[in-house]
Structure 1
Amino acid sequence: MMKIANAPCSWGALEFDLEEKSEEIGFEQVLDEIKETGYIGTELGDWGYMPTTPSLLKAELDKRHLDLLGAFVPVALAKAANHDAGVVSALKVAELMYKAGFENSFIVLADDNGTVPERTKNAGRITAAMGLSEDQWKVYAVGAEKIAKAVKDAYGIRTVFHHHCAGYVETPEEIDKLMALTDPELLGLCLDMGHYAFGGGDPVKALKKYGKRIWHVHFKDYSPESAKASREADGDYFDAIKRGVFCELGKGSVDFQSIVKLLEEMKYNDWIVVEQDILPGMGNPKICAKANRDFIKSLGL
């Protein structure tokens, strides 16, 4: 049975170092509203957003009857010099989840998105010339595997890679490349429907292509109209988010009906996490969370 969660990024609590950070909603309100809008799980959010003491974290989640299913860990994997720090970061997060009693959670590994100006500026319209060299790809893959292995060896926690706009693994071709270079037993894929669509792909095709390599799923919709408006204004990744490129589920171009049917056929029996990335202070996250949960119910989940 698929289980439905939401994440702090839907309330504007993002991992990026933004000027709007001061407008973030506190974790207590976010957890309350995740519960109140009908979800049964959450992701950890940026390190330090929720309590980093295992007993306190567990208490906050338990009193709302919420499960913790993963934590986003950004690492600039294209440079080997960052790999050891990435291992330390991932182990710190894995230890917290493990000691809090959430040993079935995932490390959601990603690039340090938003830190390479060219990729951030051209999110959703990346060309091959903006990509990694063959040598950099090897370094990238080695780093991802190194982190996944360290976490698995230490805590038995699995790692999925989250392709992401404004990072080095955004387009379908880049995802193919990383998957081909990494051990399918060690590194799974977190398929994010909205990022896959924004990166130029069809999420339905991705589901068919990667199948059992997909260990974790993010439900995010994509608005081509918002992307076009941002592109025409020469906007970057954050401009696209501000314009609502990740719209409410069912209001964009992602074919969620086909996706749910495929997930059922695949016998996917794990978490679906709603992530409607917004910037701090944008919109009314609770209303959107409720609308997104109602939409997913309309799909039979």
Structure 2
Amino acid sequence: MSNGNEAGDRLRVGSAPDSWGVWFPEDDQQTPWQRFLDEVSDAGYRWIELGPYGYLPTDPHRLRDELARRELTLSAGTCFTAFHRGDVWEQTWAHVRQVADLTSALGARHVVVIPEMWRDPASGEQLEDRSLGDGSWRALGTGIDRLAKALHEEYGVHLQFHPHADSHVDTQQHVERFLEMTDPELVTLCLDTGHISYCGGDNLELIRKYPDRIGYLHLKQVDPRVLAEVQEQDLPFGPAVRRGVMCEPPQGTPALEPIIEATRGLDADLFAIVEQDLYPCAPDVPLPIAKRTREFLNRCGAGAR
């Protein structure tokens, strides 16, 4: 592995509540937020995401104090949207502006936007059709462009769109269709290496083909053996995670060192947030994984920043 630090100098490495088994604002199975903050700091990370709005304190003064005493800084807020459903602007903006208020108050400049899934993330229940018609695609693109413009104009933050398993923007074909229909000046990707691989895509090809649209990274890997079972059985994403489809690096795919290397050629100063889906997990599971993953990324050339 590379011992150079050029890519590391351009990657601000952090982690997220997801790596501590957090999917919801409140859930008895999840790691308490105080323990998450303590442990993510102990693992050597200095950047974190909000996770689901309401998991961490939503009072900006309190959250700023909690992060500062652990030497942590916020990289981004996170939210889900469903613009493919049509006239959903008012309820979407009401939620997103809460996230943007808190994100910008903490000095972060990114909001990661994930498309709502067609299967429930916890139960796996099918909620809507797997595929979108042309009209729904147009509504999705128009809504994301409008949201990106509003976030930029009102909060000075950048929209990072996150393709996701069991959503309508999942496969390489769908990711590229989304990129071709949205405003390149406003909308960039949160390239989640695990979700792209989970859905059969090629992370390096997306970086090569759309270098100006890569604005943020989520680093994770999938276990090919478990993924084969998931595909054979058409398992929903939640049950797949419980089987361990998202695994600790470097045990899975894609290889992360070439992706980190590829960021050298990007005209961007990127966040690289470790996000290993672990919902649900035992309380003592996340910290050792987080420490080993941090050491692995150091060896890959993604140095501490």
TM-score normalised to structure 1 length: 0.90
Residues 209-234 of structure 1: per-residue CA shift (max 9 Å, x gap): 22121110010111111112233445
2:184 corresponds to:
184
2:116 corresponds, among 101, 106, 112, to 112
- Distance verdict in 2 for CA 1:267–1:151, change over 3 Å: closer
2:70 corresponds to:
64
- Letter of the 1:194 partner, please give it: G
1:125 corresponds to:
none
- Letter of the 1:219 partner, please give it: L
SS of the aligned residue for 2:112 comes to strand
After alignment, is 26-35 or 223-232 more displaced? 223-232
After alignment, is 232-241 or 42-51 more displaced? 232-241
1:79 corresponds to:
85
2:239 corresponds to:
239
Residues 146-190 of structure 1: per-residue CA shift (max 9 Å, x gap): 111111111111111000001111111111111111101111111
CA distance in 2, matches of 1:152, 1:267: 20
Identical-residue share of aligned pairs (%): 30
**Conserved? CA contact 2:47–2:74, under 8 Å:** yes
1:126 corresponds to:
none
2:49 corresponds to:
43
Q: What is the deviation of 1:268? A: 3.9
Q: Is 1:296 aligned to residue 297 of structure 2?
A: yes
Residues 244-297 of structure 1: per-residue CA shift (max 9 Å, x gap): 111011110212121111111225422100000111234701111111111101
**Conserved? CA contact 1:121–1:235, under 8 Å:** no
CA distance in 2, matches of 1:152, 1:51: 24
**Conserved? CA contact 1:204–1:255, under 8 Å:** no
CA distance in 2, matches of 1:97, 1:16: 16
Q: What is the deviation of 1:81? A: 2.4
CA distance in 2, matches of 1:146, 1:88: 14
Q: How does 1:243-258 map to 2 (within 5 A)?
A: 243-258=243-258
Q: What is the deviation of 1:107? A: 0.9
After alignment, is 267-276 or 210-219 more displaced? 267-276
SS of the aligned residue for 1:263 comes to helix
CA distance in 1, matches of 2:98, 2:25: 19
SS of the aligned residue for 1:217 comes to strand
Q: Is 1:264 aligned to residue 268 of structure 2?
A: no
2:227 corresponds to:
227
After alignment, is 258-267 or 52-61 more displaced? 258-267
**Conserved? CA contact 2:212–2:267, under 8 Å:** no
Q: CA RMSD in A?
A: 1.9
2:5 corresponds to:
none
CA distance in 1, matches of 2:77, 2:224: 28
Larger RCO of the pair (alpha carbons < 8 Å, separation 6+): 2
- Gaps in structure 1 of 5+ consecutive residues: 123-128
**Conserved? CA contact 2:79–2:113, under 8 Å:** yes
2:38 corresponds to:
32
- Distance verdict in 2 for CA 1:144–1:266, change over 3 Å: same
Q: What is the deviation of 1:99? A: 2.1
After alignment, is 281-290 or 70-79 more displaced? 281-290
CA distance in 1, matches of 2:268, 2:33: 29
- Distance verdict in 2 for CA 1:92–1:178, change over 3 Å: same
Q: Is 1:277 aligned to residue 277 of structure 2?
A: yes
2:17 corresponds to:
8
CA distance in 1, matches of 2:290, 2:172: 28
2:3 corresponds to:
none
Q: What is the deviation of 1:116? A: 6.2
Q: How does 1:162-201 map to 2 (within 5 A)?
A: 162-201=162-201
